[in-house]
């Protein structure tokens, strides 16, 4: 194998650039050229590839986002689009592809595999919703962003005797809400997996008020069974003792310089992805298993649900008292 390609796909995650850098420099160590596919699968279908040298990936380790950029594409989801992608890769002499991204991106990698392209996936999803890895690239940075926001909002909530409902990302997985709530000292946490009722949230805030607390915080996942605005309206109608305010953190959770943990994780995964690809292993995803980098099949990574340990929900309940 003398020529491979790398892409970043789906939602951006802090640490993607570190992974791209690791892929390029590890490939160079094995005398293999690396082409960067810009704009993910959309760019692939347009033949947007650039040879990446050590210079192109120099100075990107600390940068958030992705220098290769990312975009959604409907054409690639069709059999015709997938065959077109296979032909373009062959025309460019690409013998293997490393796909860095979340669940949808890994499904795209599976589609390339079905076209006979050797592929290795690297999990990068701030929701931490991919089976087969303890942690995805970008999760730690996003969680630290959430904690910084929680700490700042607690200051103003305490000053004004207010309650804050803080919405974080997590459409199908409540990992960020749960960990952010535990580490940020929230009174109650709402996740898709184990959602309390709006009545439960009101009771938790009322209890905090009765215990003499000067503020209260509820953290809610964007994938909760009810909207954040509806919850805030309900809480205000219940007169919990706190004046309720809403903060939706949104895409601030995706940005920023990756933490030391994410830089190291992304670098390790990028190195491993190249080494496995050059060793002839394909249709796999690299992942963090304990302290070690291991592999799982792309089929398992894209079909098995990533579950949060029940112990964390129990911990959240205990520490919120």
User: Pairing relation of β-strands 284-289 and 292-297?
Assistant: antiparallel
Q: How confident is the model at residue 320 (pLDDT cuts 50, 70, 90)?
A: confident
Residues in the chain: 321
Q: Could you confirm whether 127 is annotated as catalytic? A: yes
pLDDT digits (tens, 9 = 90+) for 91-138: 999 999 999 999 999 999 999 999 999 999 999 999 999 999 999 999
> What's 47's DSSP letter?
T
233 burial class (0-12, 13-18, 19+ CB within 10 angstroms)? middle
Q: Out of 127, 129, 140, 262, which one is annotated catalytic?
A: 127
pLDDT digits (tens, 9 = 90+) for 36-89: 999 999 999 999 999 999 999 999 999 999 999 998 889 999 999 999 999 999
267 burial class (0-12, 13-18, 19+ CB within 10 angstroms)? buried
Structure-token pair, residue 76 = 């690639």
Q: Looking at the predicted structure, is the pLDDT value of residue 321 above 90?
A: no
| Rounded-to-integer distance, Cα 288 and Cα 268, Å | 9
- Say what the pTM is: 0.95
Domains for the chain: give ranges and CATH numbers. 3-138+258-303 (3.40.50.450), 141-254 (3.40.50.460)
């Amino acid at each position: 194998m003398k020529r491979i390609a790398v892409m970043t796909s789906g939602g951006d995650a802090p640490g993607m650039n570190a992974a791209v850098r690791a892929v390029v420099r590890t490939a160079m160590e094995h005398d293999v050229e690396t082409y960067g596919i810009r704009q993910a699968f959309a760019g692939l279908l347009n033949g947007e590839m650039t040879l990446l040298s050590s210079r192109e990936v120099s100075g990107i380790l600390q940068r958030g986002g992705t220098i290769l950029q990312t975009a959604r594409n409907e054409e690639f989801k069709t059999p015709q689009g997938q065959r077109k992608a296979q032909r373009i890769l062959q025309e460019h002499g690409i013998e293997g592809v490393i796909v860095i991204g979340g669940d949808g991106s890994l499904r795209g990698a599976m589609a390339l595999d079905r076209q006979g392209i050797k592929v290795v996936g690297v999990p990068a999803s701030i929701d931490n919703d991919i089976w087969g890895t303890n942690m995805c690239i970008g999760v730690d940075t996003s969680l630290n962003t959430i904690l910084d926001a929680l700490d700042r909002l607690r200051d103003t909530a305490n000053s004004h005797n207010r309650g804050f409902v803080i919405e974080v990302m997590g459409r199908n997985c409540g990992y960020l809400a749960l960990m952010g709530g535990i580490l940020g000292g929230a009174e109650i946490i709402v996740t898709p997996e184990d959602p309390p009722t709006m009545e439960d949230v009101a009771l938790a805030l009322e209890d905090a008020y009765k215990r003499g607390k000067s503020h209260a915080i509820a953290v809610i996942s964007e994938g909760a069974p009810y909207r954040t605005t509806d919850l805030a309206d309900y809480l205000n109608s219940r007169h919990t003792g706190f004046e309720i305010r809403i903060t939706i953190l949104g895409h601030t959770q995706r940005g920023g310089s990756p933490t030391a943990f994410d830089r190291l994780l992304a670098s390790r995964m990028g190195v491993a992805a190249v080494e496995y690809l050059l060793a002839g292993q394909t249709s796999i995803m690299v992942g963090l298993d304990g302290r070690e980098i291991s592999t799982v099949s792309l089929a398992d990574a894209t079909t098995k649900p990533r579950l949060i340990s029940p112990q964390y929900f129990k911990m959240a309940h205990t520490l919120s008292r």
